[in-house]
Structure 1
Amino acid sequence: MALQGKVETAVEIKVPADKFYKIWSKQAHHVPTASPNHVETVHVHEGDWETDGSIKVWKYNIGESPKVVKEKVVLNDEDKSVTMIGLEGDVMQEYKAMKIVFHANPKEEDSSLVKVSIEYEKIKEEIPTPNNYLDLMVNVFKDIEAHLLKG
């Protein structure tokens, strides 16, 4: 069994790619409001809400108890992609490295296909593949879609 790997999926949302990307690149502080069952809080640890390389701390729910992660965000405005690199927190107790990458690809005028991948390195073989984190991201994306559609 390999310690390193990658899991990925895609989800279609009924929101323009620009609007979806703007939440993550400029307004991440709205994510807990849009997805309160999955994300409790987010705050800037270093940098700000809009700057590539900023560091944010997220308190989120996965499994039985709340978790915390400190991550560095890398933004690519050209292809509307966000890379979240885990630095510290609960996730780092099971994984030496975790990088979540997602980008919104325009489909039609009012819809997008959001592709998300998680590259990881487990601390030991017994640690499960992070499919639960992939599910978390899809759930948060769907919550953001619903939030943006409400207007």
Structure 2
Amino acid sequence: MQSSLVGKLETNIEIKAAASKFHEIFKHPHRISNISPNFVQSCELLQGQWGTEGSVIFWKYFLDGKHSVSKELMEVVDDKNKSLTFKVIEGDLLKHYKNFKFILKTTPKGSDQQGNVVQWTLEYEKPHNGIVDPHSMIQVLIKVSKDIDIHLINTP
């Protein structure tokens, strides 16, 4: 039996910071390298404007102990639902996957006192079954999200 080459991984992370503030950090991600330097080295805008659909962002980050790069198209910006979609258009992930998307959605858990939930979804297609699912990328996203949460709750 052959496993599917199209995959999807999801994780939910509870945060204390406001959903709108967390959403804004990834809409304008140039500060993430200062907030989570153990995982993100830099993030720069190559085309368009921060926080707008069609903009192109270049990331330098660590994955599995290696320096990695990714050029991503900000495909969807949904402020109402606090959702963003980044499509990888160049970089190290495309050495292993035919296509790769990051989908981020931040939702209130209930009242403000109950916190919020960050949901990361990775959608990808592998060229063959010998490629592992990107569990290590999910682990990085969890750690970066927790770093951002700590930063936001400690910043007035």
Q: TM-score, normalised by structure 2?
A: 0.92
Measure, in 2, the Cα distance between the counterparts of 1:131 and 1:84: 18
Instruction: Give, in angstroms, the shift of residue 51 of structure 1.
Output: 1.5
Identity value in percent: 36
3-state secondary structure, aligned to 1:148: helix
The list of structure 1 runs, each at least 4 consecutive aligned residues, that deviate by more than 6 angstroms after superposition, is none
- How many correspondences in the alignment? 150
Alignment correspondent of 2:112: 109
2:61 is the alignment partner of 1:57:
no
User: Could you tell me the TM-score, scaled by structure 1's length?
Assistant: 0.95
Write the deviation string for residues 76-134 of structure 1: whole angstroms up to 9, x where unpaired. Answer: 11100011111000000000011111110012315210111111001221110011111
**Where in structure 2 are there 5+ consecutive unaligned residues?**
none
Aligned to 1:69: 70
> Partner of 2:37 in structure 1?
36
Secondary structure class of the residue paired with 1:95: coil
CA RMSD of aligned residues (A): 1.0
Give 5+ residue unaligned stretches, structure 1.
Answer: none
Aligned ranges for residues 1-151 of structure 1 at < 5 Å? 1-25=3-27, 27-73=28-74, 74-107=76-109, 108-109=111-112, 111-151=115-155
Tell me how far apart the structure 2 counterparts of residues 103 and 53 of structure 1 sit (CA, whole Å). Answer: 18
Letter paired with 2:43: V
CA distance in 1, matches of 2:57, 2:149: 22
For residue 149 of structure 2, what is the amino acid of its counterpart?
E
